[in-house]
Amino acid sequence: MGLLMKLNPTLPTQIAVKAIVFDMDGTLCIPQTWMFRAMREAVGHHDPQVDILTFVDNLPSQRLRDEANLQIQKVEARAMAEMKPQPGLITLLEYLTRKGVDTSICTRNLITPVRHLISNFVPAEHDRFHHILTREFRPTKPNPDPLLHIAQLLKISPANMIMVGDSYDDMECGAAAGCATILVRNDTNGALLETRGHLIDAVVYDLADIIQLLERGFSKKVRT
């Protein structure tokens, strides 16, 4: 039996949830599934098995790396203009504000789209994203270092954090850091439940569904 994660633990086996870290694309905002394909096409990267940031980092010259990053940023700018908030976002943030749960963001995007999302879709009283890590922080997800860094900044154990995301990178990062994980389900990521199910502690279709999980507590898988 896994450990119970609960905001207000009443049993010795229950762990208080002190912080939630959110991915951005596909998590805080609605997935834009065209974006990653457009990025690969823009930089001439045709192997989806190879991470696009790794591909760019391994280009043979700084000129090529700079040009590839510029092309990626153009795609991200288009995605930013079309960005829409994930259902349940405000309801969840209102709840977390009332409960005093720390919130942070860990994304492989840049800071400009993050600021765009916050300024356009998050009321000022719920803008409590204490730490925002973008792809400027290396190594990026799926490496656990970003979450371990946030836990250190918050002075809490990763076991008291939840990583909420929609991709393998998010689930692997969270599990490797010792956090609980919540997958935000969409039309394209269902295969994760079959191939990476051991990394996923809970699944939601709407961010507001996380409230019920926190209220009742949920089992964090014992990973070996």
Q: Could you read off the pLDDT of 175-211 as tens digits, one per residue?
A: 999 999 999 999 999 999 999 999 999 999 999 999 9
Query: 71-94: per-residue pLDDT in tens?
Result: 988 988 898 899 999 999 999 999
Tell me the C-alpha distance between 82 and 210, whole Å. 25
Tell me the C-alpha distance between 14 and 112, whole Å. 38
Task: Please report the domains of the chain, with CATH numbers, ordered by start residue.
Answer: 3-30+84-220 (3.40.50.1000), 34-81 (no CATH)
* Mean predicted confidence (pLDDT) in 52-60: 90
Query: 138-151: per-residue pLDDT in tens?
Result: 999 999 999 999 99
pLDDT at 1: 34
Counting Cα atoms < 13 Å in the Cβ hemisphere of 181 gives 31
Q: How does the average pLDDT of the chain come out, rounded?
A: 90
pLDDT at 82: 93
At residue 87's C-alpha, the angle toward residues 82 and 92, to 5°, is 125
Confidence of residue 11 (pLDDT cuts 50, 70, 90): low
What is the total residue count of the chain? 224
- Judge whether residue 2 has pLDDT over 60: no
Amino acid at 183: L
* Mean predicted confidence (pLDDT) in 19-23: 97
Confidence of residue 36 (pLDDT cuts 50, 70, 90): confident
- Judge whether residue 3 has pLDDT over 80: no
Q: In what order do the strands lie in the sheet with 14-16?
A: 14-16, 3-6, 218-220
* Mean predicted confidence (pLDDT) in 148-165: 96
* Mean predicted confidence (pLDDT) in 109-114: 93
pLDDT at 164: 98
Question: Which residues in 135-174 belong to E strands, given as ranges?
Answer: 161-165
Tell me which residue of 208, 165, 163, 210 sits closest to 186, measured CA to CA. Answer: 165
